[in-house]
Amino acid sequence: MANAATSTVLAAAVFAGGCFWCVEAVFEELDGVKDAVSGYAGGSKETANYEAVCTGATGHAEAVKIIYDPAKISYRKLLEVHFATHDPTSLNRQGNDVGTQYRSAIFYANAEEKKIAQDYIAELTKNHAYNKPIVTTLEPLKEFYPAETYHQNFVCNNPNQGYVQAVALPKVDKVRHKFADSLKKESPLDKK
């Protein structure tokens, strides 16, 4: 008899929406998300490091790879959370984080993900969900490069850090309130 844990087929989604610390912390809250990994997407392997990406000249975005169980949470739900927890109308910036590395992007792995994202953006636009046009880019996922170790689980490991307090934790609070029915029983932040 097969173990249920080993028969689970996991999927991955890669989103960018400003600082990857914030994006990672938001998705770690969701039931069905097994892991969220901070990293870089949109550029080459040679420039997939924090120092280079911070220049804004590498083509990379600070992105998060979300490993999830599609039987528990859908790609569409991940998109809903993503669009609710960052500003998809702000071109190449989120708050005080400015540059192409902070762009709003969906890195799609296949035609199905691209279509779901296009349809969702069209729905948001039709419903006038935002006062300004959505500028989120849809980019083919060529490669995802995990960020340096010190960036992983940054919010959980540094809950009292100034940026975390001012920017990341309010986004976590937003997802906790808006998506209360989709949360893990115990938040990774509460385990610290």
For residue 19, indicate whether it is catalytic: yes
Catalytic position from the list 19, 22, 54, 156: 19
Burial of 160 (0-12, 13-18, 19+ CB in 10 A): exposed
Three-class SS state of 36: strand
Q: Which pLDDT tens digit goes with each residue over 73-84? A: 999 999 999 999
Query: How does residue 7 score in pLDDT terms, banded at 50, 70 and 90?
Result: low
Domain boundaries, the chain: 9-180
CA distance 19 to 145: 15
Q: Which CATH class is domain 9-180?
A: alpha beta
Tell me the pLDDT band of 187, cut-offs 50, 70 and 90. Answer: confident
pLDDT above 50 for 39: yes
Q: Which one-letter amino acid corresponds to residue 9?
A: V
pTM as predicted = 0.94
